[in-house]
Structure 1
Amino acid sequence: MYKKGNAMDNKALTKVLSVVSFVSFMLLGCSSNPLPTATLHPSDTKEITSYKYLIGAGDVVNIFVWRNPEVSGTFVVRPDGMITTSLVEDIPASGKTPTELARSIEGILATYLRDPVVTVTVNNFVGPFSEQIRVIGEATNPRFVNYKKNMTLLDVMIQVGGLTEFADGNDAVLVRIEDGNQVQYDVFIDDLIRNGDITANVDVLPGDIIVIPETWF
């Protein structure tokens, strides 16, 4: 019995060492092969006065071709940023303004139609990721918010339902891409929405990320 017990102990020890070796190998592999940092896709909007809506995946675009109803219609922008119309496949749409897309379609349709005149309107606004504001951390409903011209921090916080009871709003930061670099700005959300200090309200821009930490007791 004693010898059998030793044999079983040795087997168990071997299994444990094998598991430890495997875990160590996996951890070593993970630490030595980190994923590359996410690619930055900054918004083209640098000032609130220069904002123009850009079409993004998930948008529904209405394409009207004057005197050519057979090639007009409503189309959804695919996840790859393309649309497929009744006449032309794979038209790049994401990242363009409705006017830019209309001119692009006119150029494509000129191969098939004489002097096409195209108008593009957008429904179900989503826009590209670069144009969305993302709120993470201790917001009541952390999520992305579609930017609207002249939007402020207060407008964004209303969209996400304010702060949780555990939020440290005055230690929040706003992250913005400027000249290819991430720049952090302090924002004082507690002062703004809990104390009613309107001077704490600031303009936001497409692509901003608002990070709200949890308070430490």
Structure 2
Amino acid sequence: MRCAARVFALCALFLLGLAGCASPAGKPPPPATAADTLSAAPYRIGVDDVVQVSVWRNPELSVTVPVRPDGMISVPLVGDVQAGGHTPEEVAAAIQEKLSAYVRDPKVAVILTELRSHEFISRVRITGAVRNPTSLPYRQGMTVLDVVLAAGGINQFASPDQTMLYRKKGGGTESFHIHLGRMLDRGDLSTNYTLQPGDVVTVPERAF
């Protein structure tokens, strides 16, 4: 009896421990932050980009090729594969599927080695109360803080916490409020959004 009681007590403690680790019932997960909402979309390969196709244990099938104007790349054994408009992971999966007819359990990786497409050379702009309003070539991973620093920072007339990010979407424009003053003074990166090609950051002047 004592043994059974001890086992029962241990089970009860275990279940209580699980309950303590679980989230309170009925509570939704925390909402996504604005920065999460504005995270950059995966890079999609464009015409003139150069990609390296690597096939594990099959170096003779590995190749580094540019993306042709029709969006295709040529891969040994499988021929033409659509790369333009797709992510490297999607292209690797397509090549892997086609290669499976010739190679047992192929493992394929696609890596961008040169970014030459129009998506890469599209520009982002920063205007308003900065030292050097400028237009910059877009780079993947570029953030609001990157373009502010590239513009030499804000000037003495800026109202940094009224900064706006404007982004084209469909036939219209989306706008996002940026707390640039908090970012520069306190290191608050909650609105240090990742930029996309064509974005415009505007820092207004203070009202006197």
Indicate the TM-score class for this superposition, using the shorter chain for normalisation. 0.5 to 0.7
Measure the CA separation in 2 of the matches of 1:47 and 1:133.
21
- Assess, with a 3 A threshold, how the Cα gap between structure 1 residues 172 and 146 changes in structure 2: closer, same or farther: same
**Match for residue 146 of structure 2?**
155
- 2:138 is paired with a residue whose SS is strand
- What percent identity do the matched residue pairs reach? 28
**Match for residue 63 of structure 1?**
53
**Match for residue 122 of structure 1?**
112
**Match for residue 74 of structure 2?**
84
Q: Which amino acid in the other structure matches residue 103 of structure 2?
A: R
TM-score relative to the length of structure 2: 0.55
**Match for residue 100 of structure 1?**
90
Alpha-carbon deviation of 1:102? 0.9
- Assess, with a 3 A threshold, how the Cα gap between structure 1 residues 91 and 198 changes in structure 2: closer, same or farther: same
Structure 1 moving runs of 4+ over 6 Å: 130-133
State the superposition RMSD in angstroms.
Answer: 4.4
Measure the CA separation in 2 of the matches of 1:49 and 1:117.
29
Alpha-carbon deviation of 1:63? 0.7
Q: Which moved more, 1:198-207 or 1:91-100?
A: 198-207
Residue among 114, 139, 143 paired with 1:146: 139
Cα deviation digits, residues 136-175 of structure 1 (max 9, x gap): 5565541232232xx54112333x343697x967576312
TM-score relative to the length of structure 1: 0.53
- Assess, with a 3 A threshold, how the Cα gap between structure 1 residues 67 and 186 changes in structure 2: closer, same or farther: closer
Question: How many aligned positions are there?
Answer: 167
Q: Which moved more, 1:47-56 or 1:115-124?
A: 47-56
Unaligned runs of 5+ in 2: 1-34
- Assess, with a 3 A threshold, how the Cα gap between structure 1 residues 212 and 206 changes in structure 2: closer, same or farther: closer
Residue 182 (1) aligns with residue 167 (2): no
Alpha-carbon deviation of 1:179? 7.8
Unaligned runs of 5+ in 1: 1-44
Alpha-carbon deviation of 1:130? 8.9
